[in-house]
A and B are shown apart, each in its own frame.
Chain A
């Protein structure tokens, strides 16, 4: 990966610059929520990494822990009830979980930014969008109100909001869904961060607008060579933009793979089930493949592999032993870079 020309501004990266260290690395992250009914284990040992300019798609159903992981990275997790009992989140080699609140504040927004799903509820309805966009510059860079407004107009132009100059004083409800999402993107981009986390950025949008927004995001990512973590449940969007994919189930990563490989040869029965449940042309009129059962309750995750009650391949070992996320290889043992699977029977799943 190419080095970023902004390294000078980054608060003292670990000695020996960023070469070899990924932009962001999550190591064995655990998150739990203490509720009246017990401890909900939302994230149970997640590992992933993103390089500059790379797009990592985190795929999973609701309750799989994909958003909670993102919130932990951003440091916007509600604590309590949330708690991070173990794990590391390394940004350019520095563990953010060990930083002081003030240090994290400096990173949040300027180095790592987030785009939320629902733009209408994420924007403040009583402040104009120009004011909200300008806030980034006023707080982080200490610009005056006037300068911040000029910057806000520039940003709105950059995300191609027509007539930015006239609309800078408008309120969120005066924009359409797609335009609001553009404002969210503009806000995330304001300080040219190194990493953007997009949590279901297009789920609330129509397909024609979704295409516009995803295109814009991809273009800006190329322009700034940003890392992008895209959280979604839409297999179509993932195929369009991702470089690599991490599939999550019940708070764990069950499979990671480069994008093409995953769709061609899934190495985990859950991934296979997801891919098979997409309606296909040649299956018209037939029954759709459906993963039986329901996602597990996080208060009582099944023992062993969490997917075992729904898995067609489950054996006794799956009910007792939790499978580790291990490297996946070709039949002859040749390495498949970037591919890992947490299944006792990955060999059978991928090779036949």
Chain B
């Protein structure tokens, strides 16, 4: 596998496919062999390039005519390294959940590529796709609706084995499910209970156990703790961190709670209206944000410290997020940005290390899609 992924530097200025070492496996058997190969820690395991998802808007009943498109995801690129947690934050409607679905190939991308171990999974089908899906699993937001109320916990967690029988032979399944229950901190005796007999936090543990069932390499968590109570959130976050170490998992952690994301993530990407606004390590994003949207987002988070409420500066954005069906020209944030100038309306800023910080050894030198990027110390979520 080593020849497929020898890359340890960050994505360069204009991300394109040329920086990805694409696997040349063509037959299904070859693809499967590539997918089974392990990836070294710190190597990229998932490389997303110019990912686009447009949902068509149609008019008419019989002869549907496309009148436009909701540009839910419009050119997103990032890497996920083995063993790390990549946090993705953004307001509702910014496309973060659509990215999750695209990574899972639950939605078909309009264009762009998702390379998993050098293999473009958006082009795969059949057995090869099934093999990929085994390695990328998902934990959903709402533990109340993502578990089938008519199935027992044993059936829910064991269902992945029906689809991928090679992971656990039939006779072995019950034991495997009980093991998984134990791993996520639930009593293995609960195997015959139904979801309604559990609390929210326990249900989310069941969802996590289901995600772990096939020994995946990547888990995509779409707001895994936002439906839970504060005191239970911490339990689930701790569990996820423990499992990451134990099973050597890579997480894509999508959330809107900035303090939880900071706690769990190694790197953080900030999305706005279908595009990545800024991406960097957690300290770069939280302590040295250069994109105005990130700064506004961070300053809007209420800090649980009453003494900070007088002194801190808050950037309060006006208005709402524009409609993704008709996004603003140029920089998408310009309609709410206090720095916006004519250039912002004409030129789309690229996600790159901003000119003033290029080549400098400062934490501000991380990728930010703004023409007028500058460091600003906002009192951030602690």
A interface, CB within 8 angstroms of B = 61-62, 162, 176-179, 206-212, 214-215, 233-240, 242, 259-260, 263, 273-275, 277-281, 283-284, 287-292, 294-295
B248 CB to nearest A CB, Å: 17
Most buried by A among B234, B302, B305: B302
How far is B304's CA from A242's CA once the two chains are assembled, in angstroms?
Answer: 11
Shortest beta-carbon contacts, A-B, top 4: A236-B302, A279-B263, A290-B234, A277-B234
Pair A206/B91 contact, Cβ less than 8 Å: yes
A232 to chain B, nearest CB (A): 10
A246 nearest CB across to chain B (Å): 15
Q: Are B237 and A235 in contact (CB under 8 A)?
A: no
Interface of chain A, main secondary structure: helix
**B187 at the binding interface (Cβ < 8 Å):** no
B26 within 8 A of A: no
Supposing A207-B256, A279-B260 touch, asked if A288 and B238 sit within 8 A by C-beta, the answer is: yes
Number of A-B contacts defined by CB within 8 Å: 117
Q: A237-B302, A263-B304 are in contact. Are A294 and B263 (CB under 8 A)?
A: no
Task: Indicate the size class of the contact surface on chain B.
Answer: 35 or more
Considering the chains assembled together, what is the distance between the CA atoms of A281 and B283 in angstroms? Answer: 10
Q: Is the CB of A208 within 8 A of B230?
A: no
Tell me whether B238 and A239 are in contact (CB under 8 A).
Answer: no
User: Could you say which residues of chain B place their CB within 8 Å of the CB of A259?
Assistant: 306
**A263 neighbours in B (Cβ, 8 Å):** 304-307
**Given contacts A208-B300, A277-B233, is CB(A284)–CB(B263) below 8 Å?**
yes
Q: Can you name the residue of chain B whose Cβ is closest to the Cβ of A234?
A: B302
* A233/B300 in contact, CB under 8 A: no
B309 at the interface (CB under 8 A from A): yes
Query: Which residues of B sit under 8 angstroms from A179, Cβ to Cβ?
Result: 320
Pair B92/A233 contact, Cβ less than 8 Å:
no
Whether the pair A273, B263 counts as a contact (CB closer than 8 A) is no
Bound together, the chains give a CA A263 to CA B231 distance in angstroms of 16
Cα separation A212 to B237 with both chains bound (whole Å): 29
A206 near B229 with CB under 8 A, answer no
8 Å CB interface, B27-67 against A: none
List 6 other contacts, CB 8 Å, given A236-B381, A295-B229.
A209-B91, A212-B316, A234-B302, A237-B302, A240-B309, A279-B263
Contact with A along B221-260 (1 / 0, CB 8 A): 0000000011111110110011000000000000010111
Taking a contact as CB atoms under 8 Å apart, the answer to whether A239 and B305 are in contact is: yes
Docked-complex contact A281 and B309, CB < 8 angstroms:
no
Q: Is the CB of A235 within 8 A of B382?
A: no
